[in-house]
Amino acid sequence: MSVDLNALKTPGPTITALTQPFWDAAAQGQLKIQHCEDCGRPVFYPRPICPHCWSKRLVWKEASGKGRLKSFSQIRKPGHPSWLPAAPYVVGLVALAEGPTMLSFILPGARPPHVGDALLLAPTAIGGRVLPAFKPVETATEEK
Amino acid sequence: MSQAKGAIVGIGELKPQRLTSGVTTLEMIAEVARLAVFDAGLEPAAIDGLLVGPQVGETPQHVPATIAEYLGLAPTMANVVDLGGASGAGMVWRAAAAIEAGMCETVLCVLANNREEAPSRSPNRNPIREFDVPFGASGANISYALLMQAHMAEHGSTARDFALIAAAARANAQLNPDAIFYGKPADVEAVLASPIIASPLHLYEIVMPVAGGEAVVVTSAERARSLRKPTVHLLGAGEKVTHRAVSQAPSLTSGPLKSAMARAFAQSGTRADEMDLLSLYDCYTIMVATTIEDAGLCAPGQFGAWLRDHDLTHNGDKPLNTHGGQLGFGQPDLAGGMTHVVEAVRQLRGEADERQIGKAELALVTGNGATMSEATALVLGAA
Ligand SMILES: [Zn+2]
C-alpha cells in the first residue's frame, strides 16, 4: 500500500457532543470506550444509555488497544469512491480485549491477515484525521 | 367478543426545546425510551416489540434495527409507523394488534426529533456513518464479505462451496424468462472466475440491482374461501431483529433467522426437512449458506456438503429458489425480498408452469435485512 492515506478525501466521522470524547482521544492516538458504572459492562459505540441495563452512569476509560481479528475483507471495489486510490485495502472486525467489537482499518502486516490474528491499536492518519486503526502484533514488535 | 385490545403501562416525555445543539434523534430516542420503560417498572429485556417513526435523512433505512441496536434490544416485531401526526395513536393500535397476533408481548412505541439550527454536513447520522464509514467500510458488500470470511475461518467452508449457491440460482433462472439472468447461466467455474469485489466475495455472488415491483394481497381465511384462486395459508411466522451494523452482530456465523424460523416451524407444527420449497432470501451466497444451517437442514458449517447431496432444481429433492432467487432474478430493491413470497405462492397454487415443483404443500420463505440483522420467516401451506 503505497498511497498516502492521509491525502485521501474520505468521509470523516459525524461527531456529536456525546461522541466527542471518543474522537478527541483518537486524535491523541488513544482508544477510549464507555463503561457502565451500574452493570460494569463496556459499551461500544458510544451511547447516552448503557445498551445492557439502560443506566446513564457511563464513564470513559482508555482501552488497552489490544484486540483480535474476528473477520476481515480485502476491499478491491470500495463502496465510496474516495477510497478508490487506496484499494485494495483491508477492513476488519476487531474484538477489543475489553469485550466489544469495532470495525476498523487494518494495516498490512508481514503476512496476509488471518481470522484470529492478535492486533494492536495503530493510530493512523486517514483522510486528514487520526483514526484508531489496528495492525497485526508481529508488525508492532518488528517496529519496536 | 374480546374487549381489551392491550394496555398502556409506561410513559416517557422529554422537555421540549426550541433548538437542540449537536444531538441526534437516536440519542433522544434513547433518553425517552428509558423514561417510559422505567416508568412501567420494566427491564429493557422485557421489550420484544418496537414501533418507531421514520427518520428522514438521519437514518434513511433500517430504522427499527438501528434503534434496536442502539438500545440493546432484540425485538420479535419491529416496524416503522409512518402516519404523520397519527403515528403515535397508530402505534398504539398496531402494538395491540401485534400482541394479539402473538408477534410479541411488550411493545416500545417511540418517537423523537432533534431540531438543529444548522443542518448537519451529512444527512446520515446513524452509528454506521460515524463508526464504520471513516474506516473505509461503505455498503453491504463489505458486511457480507466479513460474514463470509468468518464462516470460512470458523468452519473451513470454501469459495467453491459458496459458488454452488450462485450457480444453482443461475441454473434455476434459466426456467424463468423474466429473470435478469435468463439466458445467462453461470457454472461454479464462472462464479469463481468472476472478479473479487471484497474478499472473499465474487461479483456473481452478489445480487444485481434492478428496477421492479412485487405485491401480495392478504385477507382472512374465511374471505379467502370465496375468492377465485387457490388459497395459500400463512401457517406460521417468526421475526427477530438483533442489530444493524455488522460489528454489533451477536454472531457472524448464525443470524436472527435461526430464531425466526424456529418460531415459524413451531407455530405451524412443521419441520425444515418437510418443506417442499425453500424460498430463501439470497442477497449474497453467504446468506443462503447461513440460512440452510440456521434452519437445521444440516449441522453448522456443513452447508457445502448439504448442497452437494441435494438437487435444488424444480425437479430436485430440495427445490430452492425456483424463480432463480434474487441472485438469478435480480434484486428490485426492497421488492427483492417479496419475490420469494410471490414464487412460493405461485408454486403452492400449482401455477409455476415449466418450473412447477412436484409435491407443493409447504414452503419456507425467509426475508433478511441489513447485515443479517432483520429476519422474518414464513411457513406457507397450500389449501
Ligand atoms: Zn449497564
- For the segment B153-194, what is each residue's pLDDT rounded down to a tens digit? 999 999 999 999 999 999 999 999 999 999 999 999 999 999
Tell me the per-residue pLDDT of B47-91, one tens digit each, with 9 for 90 and over: 999 999 988 678 878 999 999 999 999 999 999 999 888 888 889
Q: Considering only CB atoms, which chain B residues are within 8 Å of A50?
A: 72
Residue B334 has pLDDT above 90, yes or no: no
Give the N- to C-terminal CA distance of chain B in Å, as an integer: 28
Is A93:B153 a contact under the CB 8 Å cutoff? no
Is B257:B366 a contact under the CB 8 Å cutoff? yes
Q: Residues with Cβ < 8 Å from B337, sequence gap 6 or more?
A: B281, B367, B368, B369
Centroid of ligand 1 to alpha carbon of A58 (angstroms):
8
H and E: helices and strands count for chain A: 2, 8
Residue B345 confidence (pLDDT) = 94
* Range B33-69 burial, b when 16+ CB lie within 10 A, else e: bbebbeebeeebeebbbbbbbbbeebbeebbbbbbbb
Residue A13 confidence (pLDDT) = 95
C-alpha cell at B378: 414464513
The model's confidence at residue A139, banded by pLDDT at 50, 70 and 90, is low
CB contact B75 to A (< 8 Å):
no
Tell me the average pLDDT across B202-220.
Answer: 92
CATH of the domain spanning B7-116+207-382: 3.40.47.10
CA–CA distance, A27 with B165 (Å, rounded to integer): 44
CA–CA distance, A100 with B22 (Å, rounded to integer): 25
Residue B250 has pLDDT above 60, yes or no: yes
**Which segment of A13-27, B218-232, B303-317, B356-370 scores lowest on mean pLDDT?**
B218-232
Is B58:B24 a contact under the CB 8 Å cutoff? yes
Annotated domain spans of chain A: 15-137
Percent of chain B with pLDDT over 90: 80
Residue B324 confidence (pLDDT) = 98
Q: Is the dihedral of CA B191, B196, B201, B204 positive or negative?
A: negative
Nearest residue of chain A to residue B71 (CA atoms)? A51
Q: In sequence order, what E strands does B13-115 have?
A: 49-52, 77-80, 107-110
- Residues paired with A68 in a beta bridge: A95, A118
Residue B1 confidence (pLDDT) = 36
Residue at grid coordinates 432483520? B374
C-alpha cell at B185: 447461466
A129-136 and A66-75 beta bridge pairing: unpaired
Q: Considering only CB atoms, which chain B residues are within 8 Å of A83?
A: 136, 138
Residue B120 confidence (pLDDT) = 63
CA–CA distance, B28 with A10 (Å, rounded to integer): 28
Helical H segments across chain A, by residue range: 20-27, 137-143
Tell me the average pLDDT across A73-85.
Answer: 97
Pick among A3, A10, A14 to test the B interface (most B CBs inside 10 A): A14
The model's confidence at residue B3, banded by pLDDT at 50, 70 and 90, is low
At residue B179, the 3 state secondary structure works out as: coil
Q: Which of B23, B38, B142 sits opposite A16 (nearest CB)?
A: B23
* Range B162-199 burial, b when 16+ CB lie within 10 A, else e: bbbbbbbbbbbbbbbeebbbbeeebebebbbebebbbb
Tell me the average pLDDT across B294-301.
Answer: 98
The model's confidence at residue B2, banded by pLDDT at 50, 70 and 90, is very low
**Which segment of B111-115, B306-310, B311-315, B328-332 scores lowest on mean pLDDT?**
B111-115
Give the N- to C-terminal CA distance of chain A in Å, as an integer: 21
CA–CA distance, B173 with B275 (Å, rounded to integer): 21
Q: What are phi and psi of B373, to 5 degrees?
A: -110, -40
Under DSSP, the state recorded for B353 is G
Nearest residue of chain B to residue A54 (CA atoms)? B34
The model's confidence at residue A144, banded by pLDDT at 50, 70 and 90, is very low
DSSP string, B240-281: EE--SSGGG-S-SSS-THHHHHHHHHHHHT--GGG-SEEE--
**Mean confidence (pLDDT) of chain A:** 95
H and E: helices and strands count for chain B: 13, 9
- Residues paired with B369 in a beta bridge: B374
**Which segment of B10-14, B158-162, B253-257, B328-332 scores lowest on mean pLDDT?**
B10-14
Query: Chain B 209-248, CB below 8 Å of chain A: which residues?
Result: 245-248
Is B369:B245 a contact under the CB 8 Å cutoff? no
